[in-house]
Amino acid sequence: MKFFVDTADINEIKELAATGLINGVTTNPSLIKKSGKEFIPLIEEICDIVSGPVSAEVASTDYETMIKEANKLKDIAENVAIKVPLTEDGLKVCKELSDGGTMVNVTLCFSAGQAILAAKAGASFISPFVGRLDDISSDGMNLIADIVTIYDNYPNFDTEILVASIRNPMHIIESAKMGADIATCPANVIKQLYKHPLTDAGLDAFVKDWAATGQSIL
């Protein structure tokens, strides 16, 4: 499974990129607003840090303006993935861009039927939002299972399942068990994967025992 970090915070991106554990970055208008930075220079900076896909989202909802915005964004760097909404116009933009060799991330997916349409439109990535489904008392992970099953039935579908709106480590683990391709997560959720009380307790015991030997490796 690949990990993308879902943030527009340069410091978070640099810190995680240094670990070698992340494969890309996803952004959205809300994250750009939170960063307080200018959109295009920020995407340029992220693309200089991360060699994998960096999702930059169009701001409009009509086809004509979306395609103009997309054409401007894709010129920022070769690893920019254009993020479009899962609407009729969004999928029209997806088809045109993907036919031309541009990576497209189709976002705001909440049903398996929508995921089928995105794959047929040639999306590089489909972003089902598990956390937001959980918020309305639906089971977001059931959607991931359905999309994995459907895509596996059709080898000609090249779309990668990018699990989004991840709220906790179990969303990541369950997605991996189901065979989803990518998890995009806030930095703090990725860091939670490191944590286990038995790891902490074991390390503490090892450190104390080593100190008691009076030895030094260096």
3-state SS, one letter per residue, for 71-109: HHHCCCCCCEEEEEECCHHHHHHHHHHHHCCCCEEEEEE
CB within 8 Å of 14: residues ≥ 6 apart: 49
147 three-state secondary structure? helix
Overall residue count recorded for the chain in this entry: 218
| Residue tagged active-site, from 83, 177, 191, 195 | 83
CB within 8 Å of 145: residues ≥ 6 apart: 178
Backbone angles phi, psi at 52, to 5 degrees: -80, -175
Collect contacts of 108-113 with beta carbons under 8 A, ≥24 apart.
109/143, 110/143, 111/143, 112/143, 112/146, 112/147, 112/150
Residue 85 half-sphere exposure, CB side, CA atoms within 13 Å? 11
- Helix ranges, 75-196 (H): 88-99, 112-120, 130-135, 140-153, 169-178, 187-192
Residue 120 appears among annotated catalytic residues? no
Active site residues: 83
